[in-house]
A and B are shown apart, each in its own frame.
Chain A
Amino acid sequence: MKLKEIAHTRTGDKGNMSNIAVIPYEERDYHILKEILTAEKVEEFFSEICFGGVKRYELDNIYAFNFVLEESLGGGVTRSLAIDKHGKSLGMALLEMEI
């Protein structure tokens, strides 16, 4: 199945960093995703885009994750050559990941 069947995402940016919040629709899926949606897996998924590593923060209080992707916005929002300079579409890509 794809991640989008059990979770939604929101993407933000700061300089050359992109952050993707992954939020399961159901709390029980948080614990499953904790096991399978690792920082390594997300880093591998974005290997053509993210060059500074991925860190995962866990929020047990709201059953959500924050993935921080360093060096992933083509030099930063203000100088990127990309169409999507903010990387606002990146979270939707992650939802297509097979899990």
Chain B
Amino acid sequence: MKKIRIGCGAGCSYDRLEPAIELVEKGDIDYIVFECLAERTIANNQQQKLKDPSKGYTPMLEPRIRGILRKCKEEGIKIVTNMGAANPEAAIKLILEITKEMDITDIKVAMISGDNITDDLEKYKEIVMWQSTHTLGELEAEIISANVYLGAEAIKEALDNGADIVVTGRVADVALFVGPLMHEFGWTENDLYKIGQATLLGHLLECGGQITGGYFADPGYKDVEDLHILGHPIAEIDETGDFIVTKVKGSGGEVSLRTCKEQLLYEITDPSCYITPNAIVDFTKVCFRQIDKDVVLVTGAISKGSPTTYKVNVGYCDCYIGEGEVSFGGLNSLPRAKMCADIIEKRLKIVGANIDEYRVDYVGYNSLYKTNISDSFAPKEHSEIRLRISGRTKNYDDAMLIAQELDYLYTNGPAGSSGIESGVKQVLSVGAIIIPKENINVQITYWEV
């Protein structure tokens, strides 16, 4: 029976390089996928592209391609990635340069485009934004980027046409996995079990090490070995749609029922309705079975059909955040930190800072869970506390006032004010709209060397 093995070389833009090299050298894989775009990443990349037209792709594209290309060519391993980000053209140009430098020929590279609709937003001004009551047109901000989460069809077509490397901008994360499986097995959206399983495979693998023991260990509760050499996941799927998840033997981490269960529920809402461009999948019949050490069999994901819409992420210049931190030591550290917070608050009134939202945290006490939860299990005294002040402003200058007041504390603040850091950052936020699929034209472009 035909089997295909897919490895996930990266689960975010800044992920380790060694696990990807390990996958191509020891994973016996047919495909390596790099999923590198979080919600805001493309907006940041778009800004880089505006500053320098040769940038705007995932910065780690170069070491990753250099690290795996020769082996991929030798073994016939195909590369599928969204590392094109805001500038797939520049990513392709770089890949072609690398092939030349490494003297590797007979490679076909495909670029998927059409996701970038930044210049085509006028017709969507009346659409109410996701998780909001405002329309896109009511957004009082400079829009930096708008990218459609495309589906798997174009990736499949590029592979049908012989591509060895497929580079995309924004596509649904799972599409990077579903595309190769549609190509290999001829599955369509109407093969409800197979496309459901393919989507689940993508969902489980797309975060890289998060299913092999990353973002998981808790000493004494969930012990995991050798996280410093954490292996990335491999899925082996056959034509029935059933698949196993595993990792390279000898690598760190674990693939177990508990890691699979955690990743199944990662970043989802209704488990009976996991929405992707090619399938709305029901996870409530999914079954995991440990069939060997670090080998889990996965069955039971079924598509309920595909949506008629795409999600579009819109990145916009939202505001500024002025922030700063200062540490206090000793058992009286919390009272001194509170005194300091009071000083800052009064100073910001005196200097007339216009602040839309303001937050005071005491790191070491309540910065993660606020006061009620923290008090429910925290000790009553602290050996040290780091005060953190942050404020949202419309203008850079107002944010700067917050940062400055923190800087002044060395000579004007409470006793032992120490380790002061402050700064201002411009905030790129992301919102989303939902649009009809038929509005979007997806293009595929090929290069051969």
Tell which of B261, B266, B267, B323 touches A62, judged by Cβ atoms closer than 8 Å. Answer: B261
| Whole-angstrom distance between the Cβ of A6 and the nearest chain B Cβ | 10
Q: Is the CB of A96 within 8 A of B39?
A: no
Q: Is the CB of A93 within 8 A of B368?
A: yes
Chain B CB within 10 Å, residue with most, of A19, A55, A78, A79: A78
Whether, in the assembled complex, B106 has its beta carbon less than 8 Å from a beta carbon of chain A, the answer is no
Residues of chain B within 8 A (CB-CB) of A98 are 376
B-facing mask of A87-99, CB < 8 A → 1, else 0?
0111001001010
Q: Is the CB of A23 within 8 A of B262?
A: yes
Q: Is the CB of B258 within 8 A of A62?
A: no
The complex places the Cα of A42 from the Cα of B131 at a distance, in Å, of 21
For A70, the closest partner residue in chain B by CB is B131
For A10, the closest partner residue in chain B by CB is B262
For A14, the closest partner residue in chain B by CB is B267
For B325, the closest partner residue in chain A by CB is A83
Q: Is the CB of B286 within 8 A of A45?
A: no
Identify whether the interface residues of B are mostly helix, strand, loop, or mixed: mixed
Whether, in the assembled complex, B139 has its beta carbon less than 8 Å from a beta carbon of chain A, the answer is no
Within 8 A of A (CB), among B254-305: 258, 261-272, 283-288, 300
Residues of chain A within 8 A (CB-CB) of B258 are 8, 23, 25
Q: Is the CB of B261 within 8 A of A81?
A: no
Q: Is the CB of A83 within 8 A of B267?
A: no
The complex places the Cα of A49 from the Cα of B368 at a distance, in Å, of 10
Whether, in the assembled complex, B363 has its beta carbon less than 8 Å from a beta carbon of chain A, the answer is yes
For A60, the closest partner residue in chain B by CB is B284
Chain A CB within 10 Å, residue with most, of B263, B288, B368, B430: B368
Within 8 A of B (CB), among A40-99: 45-49, 55, 57, 59-62, 64, 66, 68, 74-79, 81-84, 88-90, 93, 96, 98
| Whole-angstrom distance between the Cβ of A20 and the nearest chain B Cβ | 9
| Whole-angstrom distance between the Cβ of A8 and the nearest chain B Cβ | 6
Q: Is the CB of B428 within 8 A of A78?
A: yes
The complex places the Cα of A8 from the Cα of B427 at a distance, in Å, of 34
Q: Is the CB of A49 within 8 A of B429?
A: no
Q: Known A62-B261, A78-B427, A79-B319; judge A10-B284 contact (CB<8 A).
A: no
Q: Known A8-B258, A21-B265, A68-B269; judge A89-B432 contact (CB<8 A).
A: no
Q: Is the CB of A14 within 8 A of B269?
A: yes
The complex places the Cα of A98 from the Cα of B373 at a distance, in Å, of 11
Q: Is the CB of A66 within 8 A of B285?
A: no
Q: Is the CB of A83 within 8 A of B388?
A: yes
Q: Is the CB of B130 within 8 A of A61?
A: no
Residues of chain A within 8 A (CB-CB) of B222 are 8
Within 8 A of A (CB), among B227-273: 258, 261-272
Q: Is the CB of B262 within 8 A of A48?
A: no
Q: Is the CB of A48 within 8 A of B372?
A: yes
Within 8 A of A (CB), among B214-229: 215-216, 218, 221-222
Q: Is the CB of A57 within 8 A of B270?
A: yes
Whether, in the assembled complex, B85 has its beta carbon less than 8 Å from a beta carbon of chain A, the answer is no
Q: Is the CB of A84 within 8 A of B368?
A: yes
The complex places the Cα of A74 from the Cα of B370 at a distance, in Å, of 12
The complex places the Cα of A76 from the Cα of B368 at a distance, in Å, of 15
Q: Is the CB of B318 within 8 A of A79?
A: yes
The complex places the Cα of A41 from the Cα of B319 at a distance, in Å, of 35
Residues of chain B within 8 A (CB-CB) of A83 are 361, 363, 367-368, 388
B-facing mask of A1-39, CB < 8 A → 1, else 0?
000100010101111110101010100000000000000
Tell which of A4, A14, A61, A78 touches B221, judged by Cβ atoms closer than 8 Å. Answer: A4
Q: Is the CB of B266 within 8 A of A10?
A: yes
Q: Is the CB of A8 within 8 A of B221?
A: yes
Chain A CB within 10 Å, residue with most, of B265, B270, B284, B287: B265
**Interface of A with B (CB < 8 Å)?**
4, 8, 10, 12-17, 19, 21, 23, 25, 45-49, 55, 57, 59-62, 64, 66, 68, 74-79, 81-84, 88-90, 93, 96, 98
Q: List 15 A-B contacts (CB under 8 A).
A: A10-B265, A15-B39, A19-B267, A21-B262, A49-B373, A57-B270, A61-B287, A62-B264, A75-B357, A78-B430, A79-B319, A79-B392, A81-B358, A88-B215, A90-B369
**Interface of B with A (CB < 8 Å)?**
39-40, 130-131, 215-216, 218, 221-222, 258, 261-272, 283-288, 300, 318-319, 321, 323, 357-359, 361, 363, 367-373, 376-377, 388, 390-392, 427-430, 432
Closest 6 CB pairs of A and B: A12-B267, A21-B265, A10-B262, A48-B370, A81-B359, A81-B390
